[in-house]
A and B are shown apart, each in its own frame.
Chain A
Amino acid sequence: EAGVTQFPSHSVIEKGQTVTLRCDPISGHDNLYWYRRVMGKEIKFLLHFVKESKQDESGMPNNRFLAERTGGTYSTLKVQPAELEDSGVYFCASKGIQGNTGELFFGEGSRLTVL
């Protein structure tokens, strides 16, 4: 069974440009999460989808970030326009609906570098 996959693995862009990160969760997982780790800091929650609906987006930094999950399958996270402080590793995670112990399955992350 394929795990959580993220694309691209690394993106280097200039300030003011736009970047779109993609996440494909484990097949059948209704819950999809985005997290971000800025260098030297802890991994922080950004938002949570249940199927195509945003369940909790309290961690989104500002309105330059837009997450979508059309059809309840893969998700995209767009940053527009990117700023220097957006640099970091963006992790996607998914979880099935069985139980509620909080265990998440993570992808390898997308490293974003804004110059």
Chain B
Amino acid sequence: AQSVTQLGSHVSVSEGALVLLRCNYSSSVPPYLFWYVQYPNQGLQLLLKYTSAATLVKGINGFEAEFKKSETSFHLTKPSAHMSDAAEYFCAMYSGGGADGLTFGKGTHLIIQP
């Protein structure tokens, strides 16, 4: 079955520290993978996407993610956290065929400590 797992419902980092949000997927076919962010009182905004081109994907606001097929992972990173990064982050997968929508992880709240 297709699924997306995000490890940790809450992640807390200090301002200026490395951000690492984990995402693992399960898919019977090569997937497309996405990270979305939701700031308070806003909609879901696309951060970055992997669509079978380069495995290291750069997104907005200094975020990047690396697709690792051997580990079925697509972890999100940012070298230096900023207070404005505080939000909820969602990893999502599109496998095509079958159910026609995105499969989401449960989301991770990123908390930035001053």
Contact = CB atoms under 8 A, between A and B. Distances in A.
A91 B99 CA distance: 17
A59 B101 contact: yes
Interface string A12-32: 000000000000000000000
A108 B45 CA distance: 9
A31 B104 CA distance: 18
Interface in B79-108: 90, 92, 94, 96, 99-107
Instruction: Give the size range of B's interface with the partner.
Output: 20 to 34
Interface in A71-101: 91, 93, 100-101
Contacts of A58: 99
Contact of B42 (A59, A103, A105, A108): A108
Interface string A46-85: 0010000001101100000000000000000000000000
B43 interface: yes
A10 B43 CA distance: 13
B53 to A, nearest CB: 10
A108 B43 contact: yes
B32 A42 contact: no
Contacts of A55: 100
Interface of B: 4, 32, 34, 36, 41-46, 49, 51, 90, 92, 94, 96, 99-107
Interface of A: 3-4, 33, 35, 40-45, 48, 55-56, 58-59, 91, 93, 100-109
